[in-house]
Chains A and B, each alone.
Chain A
Amino acid sequence: MNLDIIFNLILLGIIIGTIYSLIAMGLSLIWGVSRIINVAHGEFIVIGAYVTYYMFNTFHGDPSLYLIPSGLVVGLIGVIIQLLLYNRIVGRDHLTSLVLAFGVSIVLSGSMYILFTGNLRVVNSFYSEKSILIGSATVRWGAIYGFFIALILILLVFLLLEKTDIGRAIRAIAQDKDAAILMGINPQRIYLIAMFISAFLAGVSGNIVAVLYSFDPGVGESSYLGISFVITVLAGLGSIKGLILAGIFILTAQNFTSVYAQGLETAMGFLIMILFILFKPTGLFGKLLE
């Protein structure tokens, strides 16, 4: 394998990996803050992709215009699900939240099959059609688009968590709920805010997914949920630095796998995750998941 190929694989690993860090971020956030393992996260992403798809086909223009609307629609769905369902099981054991989210995932994907059919969709735009050459690597504009959007959003979330009162309250609830209550923080309110942010990020990720790849209602579970778990576990909860590094690491590892053993990319990601769970459950930086 020559250096050029290695460079390309790593470059793509960084670009796509950063996008996947954003994809996983919502799952990680809600897991850390509300202790809900939102198995429906993949469907959230796909809903975002459909919002972009339909808005693009109706209004045309640049797909980036539909970034925020995708986030808002999914954010709203997240808030409704939190109020309607997840809030009801606070205090029950965490496996209950796991199966409940699983039920939500089934209903959402089923609804999407009805609403949008099982046909593969693509958003044909400048981003999916044109590429640029970086070194010897051909990179689609969609990837560049996704990379920068992901970087900006990750930075914004970082600033929100680190520099604002709401962000501090979110981190406080994640670290020690009882102490946070003593500060006068209302956990229910924080759960709702965290869910909105999580779902918003999923919706925005969906916009990037729509620009970059083809999709159908099933890809949420098959293509995005698993990898989100892998990145979340690798990063450890509560570490944005961990999320970025984990995203880049996993995608680079998968890129190399695709050269040596095509067809085992997903297996490679999962294998790394299992090894981490068994031998370093705190992930690269964060804390133990519960």
Chain B
Amino acid sequence: MLKISNLQVKYGKIQVIWGLDLEIPKGSVVGLLGPNGAGKTSTFASIAGLVSPFEGSILYNEVEVTNLNPAKRVELGISLVPEGRKLFPDMSVKDNLLLGSYQKRAKSKRKESLNRVLTLFPILEERLNQQARTLSGGQQQMLAIGRGLMSDPSLLILDEPSLGLAPIIVDDIFNAFKRINEEGVTILISEQHVHRVLEIIDKGYVIEQGRIALSGNAKELEGNKHIREAYLGI
């Protein structure tokens, strides 16, 4: 579904991604693993069109999207749930969700999508008219995921969805990911909590200082020394 080859990204004079290759099969859950600052967020930003790589290509469903603007990519079905949630804090839960379906294709399916999100996260229904900033951390993450789903994506990218959350809530959210995937959405996820993510992914890539250092299925990665090296430096 998504094929990235030789991706290179610079911010000003700082190069953060150095020739990264990545493939995501349709319907799968793929993990992008690696320590802070390794380049996960920059990779995601390139897929969503927030930064333009100076080298390399991104193919989505065989279509070159490398230089499309973010709006067109949302329309094509790529949805990014950013790190740190990035909600609109002074808007209601409902407005946040509705903004998720701002694009034309999603707008026509707005009612269905809303139902789908509220079934997935019933707590949001109770708080539809509350300001997003008044939600707890876990609810905010659910809202961010829900907002991402409102665009009716076929590829959902989740950047550090468990950041700063209590373990019980992380369980809930990971269960939701499984259900979303079962509904046919392809998922690309980055996580620091390697073991949790290994439970749900079909395939994982380990990224280190802007390059893919290792890839394999969950079993191959489990207990691999390289992961430990990447995270703990020993």
Contact = CB atoms under 8 A, between A and B. Distances in A.
A135 interface: no
B88 interface: yes
A168 B74 contact: no
Nearest to B95: A168
Contacts of B95: 168, 171
B198 to A, nearest CB: 27
A171 B69 contact: no
A226 B89 CA distance: 31
Contacts of A185: 71, 99, 102
A180 to B, nearest CB: 8
A165 B107 contact: yes
A169 interface: yes
A129 interface: no
A179 B50 contact: no
B99 A186 contact: no
B50 A172 contact: no
A185 to B, nearest CB: 6
Interface residues of B, number: 24
B91 A175 contact: yes
A220 interface: no
Contacts of A184: 70-71, 74-75, 102-103, 151
Interface string A168-189: 1101100110111111111000
B114 to A, nearest CB: 14
A172 B99 contact: yes
Contacts of B107: 165
A175 B98 CA distance: 15
Contacts of B82: 178-179, 182
A183 B99 contact: yes
A130 B69 CA distance: 57
B88 A169 contact: no
B90 A175 contact: yes
Given A169-B102, A172-B99, A182 B70 contact: yes
B169 interface: no
A288 to B, nearest CB: 12
Q: B74, B89, B102, B147 — which one has the most chain A CB atoms within 10 A of its CB? A: B102
A26 interface: no
B202 to A, nearest CB: 25
A168 B103 contact: no
A238 interface: yes
B86 A176 contact: yes
B91 A186 contact: no
Interface in B71-105: 71, 74-75, 80, 82, 86-91, 95, 98-100, 102-103
Interface in A167-215: 168-169, 171-172, 175-176, 178-186
Nearest to B82: A182
A179 B102 contact: no
Contact of B71 (A179, A186, A238): A186
Nearest to B106: A184
A182 B102 contact: no
15 contacts: A168-B102, A171-B90, A172-B88, A175-B88, A175-B90, A178-B50, A178-B86, A179-B88, A180-B99, A182-B48, A183-B102, A184-B75, A184-B103, A184-B151, A186-B71
Given A179-B87, A183-B99, 9 more contacts: A165-B98, A169-B99, A171-B90, A176-B88, A180-B88, A182-B70, A182-B74, A183-B74, A183-B102
